[in-house]
Amino acid sequence: MDINKHQDLLTINWNLIFSIITVLVLILILKHFFFEKVKKFMDERKAKVEEQFQKAEEAENQAREKLDEYNEILAGAEKEKRVIIADAMENAKLQANSVLDEARKEAADIREKSRLQIEREKIAARKEIHNEVGDLAVQLAEKILESELDEDAQASVIDEIISKSEANRETKK
pLDDT, tens digit only, all 173 positions of the chain: 455 555 555 567 788 899 999 999 998 888 888 877 888 889 999 999 999 999 999 999 999 999 999 999 988 888 888 999 999 999 999 998 999 999 999 999 999 999 999 999 889 888 888 777 777 777 777 776 666 656 677 677 777 777 777 777 667 65
What integer pLDDT is reported at residue 136 of this predicted model? 75
- CA dist 113 and 121 (Å) reads 12
Going 84 to 86 to 90 to 96, the CA torsion angle's sign is positive
**Over the range 61-84, which residues count as b (16 or more CB within 10 Å of their CB) and which as e?**
eeeeeeeeeeeeeeeeeeeeeeee
pLDDT of the residue at 9: 57
pLDDT at 1: 45
pTM exceeding the 0.85 threshold for the entire prediction: no
Element (H, E) at 1: none
